[in-house]
Amino acid sequence: MVEKEVRNSFMELNAVYFWTSTIIEWKHLLKQEKYKQVVLDSFKVLVDKELVKIYGFVIMPNHIHIIWEMLSMNQIVRCYQ
């Protein structure tokens, strides 16, 4: 059995981060437009609620890059603490 590397990461409020999320086994789950739209809708909710500020992002078929800043405590921040 292959042991997976554990990444201890967290985000602080009011700091800008370059963040990447990769789909397991690099599967192309975000290739279809409807799935990319789910990500965009989620970003919009976070921005509209003033929980994050998004400076830029790229949605690839198998991963996402985003440059963002956490503005207040929310589920994203809590999961990394």
- What is the average pLDDT across 54-68? 97
**Main-chain dihedrals φ then ψ at residue 54, nearest 5 degrees:** -105, 125
Average pLDDT over residues 53-64: 97
Three-state SS for 79?
helix
Report whether pLDDT(17) > 60: yes
Question: How many beta carbons lie within 10 A of that of residue 36, not counting itself?
Answer: 16
What is the side-by-side order of every strand in the sheet holding 16-22? 16-22, 63-70, 52-59
Window from 17-26, 46-55, 65-74 with minimum mean pLDDT = 65-74
pTM: 0.74
* pLDDT value, residue 12: 83
